[in-house]
């Protein structure tokens, strides 16, 4: 079965002055220690800037193409690239041309959420290895398709949850597995970020240099507004997933990893917009509860956007609860344990993150997570990935389930094996989305 990308290319080739040739599936390429890996960065406004620097910091890796629907941004990044590295870099607005370029070995994806899964699938089909920013998917159904594509085409796919590469956090997970805090029954995820009003800028004409059709991609096309491009798409359901599906994916992933669980069977969620009458569609405040009756475990997750207290000194991070103590992880790659009723300080660890910037250094930062990815690419060994594609599906899936429960305003029962709701067609409809013609995530990848 042809991919939707091939179908789209065939339909549009005749109308294009520079027709894109339908791709050929490429077999796995072996890399020696001295072979250069060529990379393309897709999406260069936010995290894409970090992707550029982290890839360029890897040995024998070179970013050769920058891709974004906004040519204005591309030219700006091209100038910065030349100033920083004294090297030229090619520019491309259409990611399909990147997929068809046989010289590109890996792609890193930092585009808006609604593009992540389809881009990953297209890259796998084109024989390229993938680093995909969180969340891996925009909905649960397409997340499973990402896993299927990586398996079918034998590709290396790393999810951008760099806590998985943190020595301190791996040490903390080891303590949880060894029963250091006793019978572990609950995890709490916290995302207390400063998220101001975005106002309502209304509809406007598309700025010169932006290919808005490509920016929209798989989503249903809306009239252009500055409330979407470039960052505030996070707060609109067609493109983003709110903060639980933004910053929160690091914490949903860690909740599941620390508790050693998959997707839950019971979900409830409540919240709303209480602060501003702006263009955001997602809730500003959101509290979700995920229950695992068979495992005797529960996850609580909370999003707050404004003035708040901390919890154990943490505003972004996780707290794990056992019958002997608690283990607290902050968002900057360090942990502390508190034991017993007296809260005696127990074992701790710290990678040396910077709470001022929210960035971790060393192995636990973006550079270290990319290093793990590149090592797996060179060895063509997905078993050594710290954040494999399954984490993209499951960590994102937990956020999606909370959002669905919020939008339906009721308790949901979910079957983790079938990845569908139990006798709930209304909820099942929200597991996927309607894709725009030419940008469909295929049923068979």
Same domain, 208 and 81: no
Same domain, 60 and 138: yes
Structure tokens at 199: 């106002």
Q: What's the confidence (pLDDT) of residue 331?
A: 80
Same domain, 143 and 102: yes
Q: What's the confidence (pLDDT) of residue 32?
A: 72
The DSSP code for 323 is S
* pTM of the predicted structure, to 2 decimals: 0.92
- Supply φ then ψ for residue 258, to 5 degrees: -65, -40
Structure tokens at 431: 């597991």
Same domain, 247 and 98: no
Last residue of a domain, one of 163, 197, 216: 163
Structure tokens at 61: 């890796």
Q: How far apart are CA 87 and CA 45, in angstroms?
A: 20
Q: Do residues 99 and 23 make contact, with C-beta atoms less than 8 angstroms apart?
A: yes
Provide the 3-class DSSP secondary structure of residue 177: helix
CATH of the domain at 42: 3.40.50.720
* Preceding peptide of 130 cis, ω within 30°: no
Q: Do residues 161 and 132 make contact, with C-beta atoms less than 8 angstroms apart?
A: no
Q: How far apart are CA 260 and CA 244, in angstroms?
A: 20
Same domain, 139 and 51: yes
Same domain, 137 and 187: no
Same domain, 334 and 410: yes
Sign of the dihedral defined by the CA atoms of residues 114, 58, 44, 88, in that order? negative
What is the residue range of 232's domain?
Answer: 167-354+390-431
Structure tokens at 260: 């050693």
- Total number of domains constituting the chain: 2
Same domain, 207 and 221: yes
Q: How far apart are CA 187 and CA 189, in angstroms?
A: 7
Higher pLDDT: 360 or 266? It is: 266
Last residue of a domain, one of 138, 163, 188: 163
Same domain, 146 and 181: no
pLDDT digit string (tens) for 97-148? 999 999 999 999 999 999 999 999 999 999 999 999 999 999 999 999 999 9
Q: How far apart are CA 375 and CA 369, in angstroms?
A: 10
Span 154-166, mean pLDDT? 97
pLDDT digit string (tens) for 236-278? 999 999 999 999 999 999 999 999 999 999 999 999 999 999 9
Q: How far apart are CA 269 and CA 272, in angstroms?
A: 10
Same domain, 8 and 154: yes
pLDDT digit string (tens) for 167-191? 999 999 999 999 999 999 999 999 9
**What is the number of other CB atoms lying within 10 angstroms of the CB of residue 182?**
14
Per-residue pLDDT at 1 exceeds 50: no
Q: What's the confidence (pLDDT) of residue 31?
A: 78
Q: What's the confidence (pLDDT) of residue 347?
A: 98
Q: Do residues 113 and 245 make contact, with C-beta atoms less than 8 angstroms apart?
A: yes
- Supply φ then ψ for residue 303, to 5 degrees: -115, 130
At residue 434 the predicted structure's pLDDT band, cuts being 50, 70 and 90, is: very high
Same domain, 247 and 182: yes
Q: How far apart are CA 209 and CA 72, in angstroms?
A: 6
Q: What's the confidence (pLDDT) of residue 6?
A: 42
Q: What's the confidence (pLDDT) of residue 19?
A: 37
Same domain, 323 and 231: yes
pLDDT digit string (tens) for 15-51? 333 333 334 455 456 677 679 999 999 999 989 999 9
As separate numbers, helices (DSSP H) first and strands (DSSP E) second, the chain gives: 12, 16
Last residue of a domain, one of 137, 163, 189: 163
Angle at 155 between CA 152 and CA 156, to 5 degrees: 140
């Amino acid at each position: 079965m042809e991919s939707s990308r091939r179908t789209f290319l065939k339909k549009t080739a005749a109308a294009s002055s520079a027709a894109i040739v339908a791709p050929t599936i490429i077999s796995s390429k072996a890399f020696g220690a001295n072979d250069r890996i060529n990379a393309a960065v897709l999406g260069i406004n936010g995290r894409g800037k970090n992707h550029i620097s982290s890839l360029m910091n890897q040995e024998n890796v070179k970013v050769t193409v920058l891709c974004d629907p906004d040519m204005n941004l591309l030219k700006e990044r091209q100038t910065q690239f030349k100033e920083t590295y004294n090297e030229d870099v090619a520019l491309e607005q259409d990611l399909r041309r990147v997929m068809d370029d046989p010289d590109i070995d890996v792609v890193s994806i930092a585009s808006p959420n609604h593009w992540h899964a389809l881009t990953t699938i297209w890259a796998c089909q084109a024989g390229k290895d993938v680093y995909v920013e969180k969340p891996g998917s925009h909905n649960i159904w397409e997340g499973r398709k990402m896993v299927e594509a990586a398996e079918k085409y034998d590709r290396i796919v790393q999810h951008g949850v760099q806590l998985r590469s943190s020595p301190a956090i791996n040490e903390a997970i080891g303590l949880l597995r060894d029963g250091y805090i006793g019978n572990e029954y609950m995890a709490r995820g916290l995302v207390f970020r400063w998220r101001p009003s975005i106002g309502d800028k209304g509809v406007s004409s598309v700025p010169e240099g932006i290919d808005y059709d490509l920016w929209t991609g798989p989503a249903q096309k809306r009239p252009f507004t500055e409330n979407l491009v470039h960052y505030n798409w996070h707060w609109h359901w067609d493109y983003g997933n709110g903060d639980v599906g933004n910053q929160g994916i690091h914490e949903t992933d860690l909740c599941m990893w620390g508790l050693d669980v998959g997707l839950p069977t019971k979900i409830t969620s409540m919240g709303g917009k209480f602060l501003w009458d702006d263009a955001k569609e997602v809730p500003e405040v959101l509290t979700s509860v995920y229950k695992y009756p068979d495992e005797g475990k529960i996850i609580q997750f909370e999003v707050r956007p404004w003035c708040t207290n901390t919890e154990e000194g943490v505003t972004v991070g996780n707290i794990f609860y056992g019958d002997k103590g608690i283990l607290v992880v902050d968002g900057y790659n360090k942990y502390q344990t508190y034991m017993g009723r007296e809260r005696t300080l127990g074992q701790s660890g710290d990678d040396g993150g910077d709470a001022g910037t929210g960035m971790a250094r060393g192995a636990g930062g973006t550079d270290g997570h990319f290093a793990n990815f590149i090592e797996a690419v060179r060895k063509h060994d997905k078993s050594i990935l710290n954040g494999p594609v399954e984490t993209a599906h499951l960590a994102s899936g937990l956020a999606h389930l909370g959002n669905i429960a919020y939008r339906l305003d009721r308790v949901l029962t979910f079957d983790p094996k079938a990845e569908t709701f139990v006798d709930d067609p209304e909820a099942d409809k929200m597991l996927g989305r309607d894709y725009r013609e030419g940008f469909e995530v295929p049923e068979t990848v």
